[in-house]
């Protein structure tokens, strides 16, 4: 079988690493991939937003199955395009991917189907949005409606912060078109968890709950990033809570999408806040999370391709999901300055150490030049360690991190810590 993975980050390295374990795959391709992915897949230099070239490549290479990593091609309709040509692809249709592509769509959808989420209003007019801010008591979150690479949501402590966020989006166009419509919502207190689930449009099958660490600094301080680390499972998401999440969020979402004519097939990522009133949705994503996938996928005992094929073929109910009884922690090593401006091209050393079978180094922003491995992005590497306990997984991940070097390497030192507290 020939399989193509689209994307070039740590998530895609984790996807390729896991898919490569299926013996039925004889050719694995990745577009565009990265130096870590090259160990498992043939990389083709096609950008994830170049849908026409991806389609052409899939036809030329007679690809049997395509897996989409990032949201952009999904929001732009790659699933519909491949389906029209009779090609199998894992990822939701353009209509279903709106659940991530437009925050106002997602919020209106949740309201219609009584899916718990923060109270909100949608604005296209600056004057109305300003009025809302000044008449509201309490912290607010101002969100660009469209895709903004994970940076489009600003948590605002004061009314004037919210006003500033609004001006950035609506007047100064920092997120371009994506910020011309904004969602303003109430701030939710609680622990955040990511629940990723397979859905074939009818059946929904949650994977292991994970916790991301969005803020750049320890103790969740500083600006939001794409995610500085993740761990799974999350000890305080017990069976009962997972059932509640399934019944109040995942199942009504799948039913609602099907009812609205957009059956959801792919990974449904629910970003949740565990509030005193129960779990509430912060956001939906239409794909695997990054870095969550770098903790979740190494814990899957079942075959990933079989699960994805069950989603595409509509027989997810028959898929047997097995998960290892261990913990995984992924610590992101980033370039100093990220999520702001940072330098690239720093040599990475230490990767040839013997880390052992329980440590996996996923590449995110790296490139190879003249045989040397260099930094090439904000998030550079994801260092994952698997162990019997969360505590040991944390220790193992940091032990590996400390033996990898590049100038300006930055990482949080508290990944997984929230999972260790007594509950
Ligand atoms: P989003 O872009 O919607 O995923 O938001 C990015 C991050 O901002 C989330 O992971 C939360 O940490 C924070 N956030 C977003 N919305 C809210 C909210 N309503 N209440 C509290 N924090 C939020
Ligand atoms: N880790 C957050 C995301 O993948 O959107």
- In the listed set 273, 295, 318, which residue is the last one of a domain according to the structure? 318
Residue 116 lies in a domain: no
Residue 78 lies in a domain: yes
Q: Name the closest ligand to CA 140.
A: 1
Q: Are 163 and 76 contained in the same domain?
A: no
Helix axes 103-112, 94-101, angle to 10 degrees: 100
Q: Measured between alpha carbons, how far is 418 from 423 in angstroms, rounded to an integer?
A: 10
Question: What does the pLDDT read at residue 126?
Answer: 85
Look-up of token digits 């660490």 = 213
**Is the CB of residue 292 below 6 angstroms from any atom belonging to ligand 2?**
yes
CATH number, domain containing residue 152:
3.30.1490
Q: Are 250 and 312 contained in the same domain?
A: yes
Question: What does the pLDDT read at residue 179?
Answer: 74
Question: What does the pLDDT read at residue 173?
Answer: 79
Q: Are 295 and 244 contained in the same domain?
A: yes
161 is written with which tokens? 């912060």
**Is the CB of residue 185 below 6 angstroms from any atom belonging to ligand 1?**
yes
- CA-proximal residue: ligand 2, atom 4 (nearest): 289
**What's the 214 CA to ligand 1 centre distance in angstroms?**
9
The alpha carbon dihedral of 262, 268, 273, 277 has a sign of: positive
Question: What does the pLDDT read at residue 168?
Answer: 82
Nearest atom in ligand 2 to 150's CA: 5
**What's the 135 CA to ligand 1 centre distance in angstroms?**
21
Write the DSSP string, 261-313: T---EEEEEEEEEEETTEEEEEEEESS--TTHHHHHGGGB-S-HHHHHHHHHH
Q: Are 313 and 343 contained in the same domain?
A: no
Residue 350 lies in a domain: yes
Distances (CA, A) of 20 to 30, 32, 34, 40: 12, 17, 15, 7
Number of domains in the chain: 4
Residue 300 lies in a domain: yes
**What's the 92 CA to ligand 1 centre distance in angstroms?**
23
**Is the CB of residue 71 below 6 angstroms from any atom belonging to ligand 2?**
no
Question: What does the pLDDT read at residue 16?
Answer: 98
CATH number, domain containing residue 196:
3.30.470.20
**What's the 20 CA to ligand 1 centre distance in angstroms?**
34
Q: Name the closest ligand to CA 293.
A: 2
Q: Are 130 and 86 contained in the same domain?
A: no
Nearest atom in ligand 2 to 230's CA: 1
**Is the CB of residue 212 below 6 angstroms from any atom belonging to ligand 2?**
yes
Distances (CA, A) of 7 to 46, 187, 236, 364, 387: 9, 32, 32, 10, 28
**Is the CB of residue 290 below 6 angstroms from any atom belonging to ligand 2?**
yes
- In the listed set 91, 109, 142, which residue is the last one of a domain according to the structure? 91
Residue 112 lies in a domain: no
Q: Are 163 and 197 contained in the same domain?
A: no
Q: Are 199 and 137 contained in the same domain?
A: no
Q: Name the closest ligand to CA 285.
A: 2
Contacts of 370 (CB under 8 A, 6+ apart): none
**Is the CB of residue 271 below 6 angstroms from any atom belonging to ligand 2?**
no
CATH number, domain containing residue 80:
3.40.50.20
Residue 110 lies in a domain: no
Q: Are 381 and 311 contained in the same domain?
A: no
**Is the CB of residue 77 below 6 angstroms from any atom belonging to ligand 2?**
no
Q: Are 165 and 227 contained in the same domain?
A: no
Q: Are 174 and 199 contained in the same domain?
A: no
Q: Are 299 and 396 contained in the same domain?
A: no
Residue 118 lies in a domain: no
Helix (H) or strand (E) holding 333: strand 327-335
Q: Name the closest ligand to CA 192.
A: 1
Residue 101 lies in a domain: no
From 118, 153, 272, mutation site for ligand 1 pocket: most ligand atoms within 8 A of C-beta: 153
Vertex 271 angle, CA 285 and 36, to 5°: 60
- In the listed set 34, 67, 91, which residue is the last one of a domain according to the structure? 91
Q: What is the mean pLDDT of each run of 10 residues along the chain (423 residues)?
A: 98 98 97 97 97 98 98 97 97 97 94 96 85 87 84 86 86 78 91 97 96 96 93 96 97 97 98 97 97 98 97 96 97 96 97 94 97 97 98 98 98 97 65
Domain that holds residue 201: 191-318
């Amino acid at each position: 079988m020939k399989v193509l993975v689209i994307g070039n980050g740590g998530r895609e390295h984790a996807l390729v690493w896991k898919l490569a374990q299926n013996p039925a795959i004889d050719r694995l391709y990745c577009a565009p991939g990265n130096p870590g992915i090259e160990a498992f897949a043939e990389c083709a230099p096609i950008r994830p937003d170049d849908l026409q070239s991806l389609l052409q490549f899939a036809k030329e290479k007679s690809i049997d199955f395509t897996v989409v990593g990032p949201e952009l091609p999904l929001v732009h309709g790659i699933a519909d395009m491949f389906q029209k040509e009779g090609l199998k692809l894992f990822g939701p249709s353009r209509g279903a991917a709106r659940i991530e592509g437009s925050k106002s769509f997602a919020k209106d959808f949740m309201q219609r189907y009584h899916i718990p989420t923060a109270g909100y209003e949608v604005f296209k007019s600056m004057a109305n949005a300003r009025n809302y801010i000044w008449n509201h008591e309490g912290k607010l979150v101002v969100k660009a409606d469209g895709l903004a690479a994970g940076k489009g949501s600003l948590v605002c402590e004061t009314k004037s912060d919210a006003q500033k966020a609004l001006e950035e989006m609506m007047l100064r166009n920092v997120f371009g078109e994506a910020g011309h419509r904004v969602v303003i919502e109430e701030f939710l207190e609680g622990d955040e968890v990511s629940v990723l689930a397979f859905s074939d449009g009818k059946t929904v099958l949650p994977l292991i709950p994970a916790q991301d660490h969005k803020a750049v600094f320890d103790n969740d301080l500083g600006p939001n990033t794409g995610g500085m680390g993740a761990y799974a499972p999350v000890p305080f998401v017990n069976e009962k809570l997972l059932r509640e999440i399934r019944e109040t969020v995942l199942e009504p979402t799948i039913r609602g999408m099907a009812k609205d004519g957009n059956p959801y097939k792919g990974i449904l990522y629910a970003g949740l806040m565990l509030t005193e009133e129960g779990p509430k949705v912060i956001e939906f994503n239409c794909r695997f999370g990054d870095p969550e996938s770098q903790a979740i996928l190494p814990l899957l005992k079942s075959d990933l391709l079989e699960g994805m094929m069950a989603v595409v073929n509509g027989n997810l109910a028959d898929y047997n999901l097995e998960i290892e009884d261990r913990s995984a922690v992924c610590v992101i090593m980033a370039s100093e300055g990220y999520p702001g401006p940072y330098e690239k091209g720093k040599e990475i050393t230490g990767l040839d150490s013997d880390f052992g079978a329980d440590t996996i180094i996923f590449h995110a922003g790296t490139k190879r030049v003249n045989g040397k491995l260099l930094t090439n992005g904000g998030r550079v590497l994801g260092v994952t360690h698997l162990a019997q306990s969360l505590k040991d997984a944390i220790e193992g991940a940091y032990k590996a991190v400390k033996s990898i070097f590049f100038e300006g390497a930055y990482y949080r030192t508290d990944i997984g810590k929230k999972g260790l507290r007594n509950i």
